Amino acid sequence: MKYSIKKIRNGRREAGLFHRLSRLSFFALILTAVLIAAGCAVRRPSDVSDLMTEKGPGALQEAADHPEQGLFEGVETAEDSGAFTEFGITKMQTESSCIEEDSKSSESDEENVHSLPDEETESDSTETEEKEAHRIVAVTNLIKPGTKEAWEAARPKTVKIAAIGDMLMHPSVSGLAFQADGSIDYSFIFDPIRKDVQKADLAAVNNEVPMAGNQLGLQNYPNFNVFTELGDAEVAAGFNVILNATNHTMDQGLNGALNTLNFWKKYPEITILGLHETAEEKEKLHIVEVNGVRIAMLNYTYGSNGGVAWDRPYLLDLMVNGTREQIRSELQRAEAEADFTIVFPHWGTEYQLHEDASQQEWAQFFTENGADLIIGTHPHCLEPVREITAANGNTALCYYSLGNYISMQDETISMLGGLAEITLISDSSGVRIRDHSMDYLVTHYEWDMDMAYVTRLENYTEELAARHGIRTHGFTGGDLNACYPFQLSTFYRVVDEISQ
């Protein structure tokens, strides 16, 4: 290196060229060879749709995540740099931009070479070479306007859905909500699932009984009433879809149903299904948009213990022969206006671990007319999860029953409920169910301890089972408990039965 510097000082430009090449060309030549071999010359996609057509809908995401794979190879280079805009997500780092940098550094070296000192130590040379290496910089890939929208539309999106079964609010459960200061707080009920509910984009709860007004007090079977503070606790827990179409909706008559609706007006952001104050509200289809996915939701009940308001046919959403065509019309509207449709039917035979013929018929009907997901309640016990295929080829996932979330019933199988969790994925192929699961939950209560709470089956023990009120108070639960005695193994047996 000293020899070349002296020659430069003596005016021999050829040696200067050799000097520059010795310092720069080695990196440039090696880099050029790598780029040619990898085929990753800088290219700007001028037609993202062409790229996706050629390489599939995941090409953009893969290109952004793995630029070293050269996934833009073969896409026409766009030269109209003036029309390009920076798109942060797709910034693709490449080392091939060193060509322009080397050109600039070569000119700079030519200008500054005469200022080199008489001698250059080995450390100086190394430092200079490191600086030159650092001039090999990454550039940001620029993409034409409009590509950002195409990218966003193409990126897969997910929607998480959670649902629990019947809030069968016996007064003995509500009694545990009274606080020392006189307030009422039901929040303890949701402690074991709160995090799961709050992670969901849509979380549904079946309010089995009306919130007809605190002035009516707590009411037990057959004409239930629960304090409105239950609704406050549901919202605080993260539920944003409330199912009101049940056989107990009219337990406190028309005024009770209207009072329930009036309470929910304090939470306009919450979707209230199955119950309507006016005919105009009944005509509105409940569609919510989550992460760009439009989801329609419908809620029906097989009937009402408290009768119906015949002068207000719009009040309660019924699924009977007389409403079949109306339901078909609502499903078809949902199919046309939404990307995904969920039906929440209140149906089936109580205390039966398998779906009945009526449920099967309605599941076929819902699926044929566009339902994608069916989540059922009412039997007060778990029932199977099945994939439904209609005669026209439509398919739907059906949770026939999620059982009770909480109650003080005396049947063993009514103490086991489920938290359904479903993940939807939306991409260029449409919206579909990616995965689904069921977390099993046990209602534990002890009469002597004035205690009731929900826990996960995996955390339940035989020691707890021995203290359960059904065991300690000898509740027979009819013939059911003879077949399903209250013990831990019975719960796992039930899980096995509904899984067949």
- Stretch 141-156: mean pLDDT: 62
| Those residues with Cβ within 8 angstroms of residue 115's Cβ, 6 or more apart along the chain or in another chain | none
Confidence of residue 61 (pLDDT cuts 50, 70, 90): low
Reported as half-sphere exposure (CB side, CA atoms, 13 A), residue 183 has a value of 8
Q: Calculate helix-pair angle for 2-9, 13-20, nearest 10 degrees.
A: 140
Structural domain boundaries in the chain: 2-153, 157-498
Helix (H) or strand (E) run with residue 382 in it: none
Cross-strand bridge partners of residue 206: 166, 243
What rounded mean pLDDT belongs to the chain? 81
Confidence of residue 21 (pLDDT cuts 50, 70, 90): very low
Q: Which residue has the higher pLDDT, 239 or 306?
A: 239
Can you tell me the distance from the alpha carbon of 284 to that of 282, in angstroms, rounded to the nearest whole number?
A: 5
Q: What is the pLDDT of residue 473?
A: 83
Q: What is the pLDDT of residue 132?
A: 45
Tell whether the model's pLDDT for residue 48 goes beyond 80.
no
Confidence of residue 448 (pLDDT cuts 50, 70, 90): confident
pLDDT digits (tens, 9 = 90+) for 83-133: 333 333 333 333 334 434 444 444 444 444 333 344 444 445 445 544 444
What phi and psi, each to the nearest 5 degrees, are found at residue 288? -115, 145
Tell whether the model's pLDDT for residue 66 goes beyond 50.
yes
Retrieve residue 111's tokens: 């200008």
pLDDT digits (tens, 9 = 90+) for 387-401: 999 999 999 999 999
**CATH 3.60.21.10 at 157-498, yes or no:** yes
Q: What is the pLDDT of residue 376?
A: 98
**Percent above pLDDT 70 for the chain:** 68
Tell whether the model's pLDDT for residue 30 goes beyond 70.
no
Which of 428, 441, 319 minimizes the C-alpha distance to 48?
A: 428
Can you tell me the distance from the alpha carbon of 313 to that of 306, in angstroms, rounded to the nearest whole number?
A: 14
Judged by DSSP in three states, 282 sits in helix
Can you tell me the distance from the alpha carbon of 136 to that of 97, in angstroms, rounded to the nearest whole number?
A: 7
- Stretch 191-215: mean pLDDT: 98
Tell whether the model's pLDDT for residue 7 goes beyond 70.
no
Tell whether the model's pLDDT for residue 477 goes beyond 70.
no
Tell whether the model's pLDDT for residue 277 goes beyond 60.
yes
Least confident of 65-69, 194-198, 444-448, 470-474: 65-69
- Stretch 306-335: mean pLDDT: 96
pLDDT digits (tens, 9 = 90+) for 218-265: 999 999 999 999 999 999 999 999 999 999 999 999 999 999 999 999
- Stretch 183-199: mean pLDDT: 98
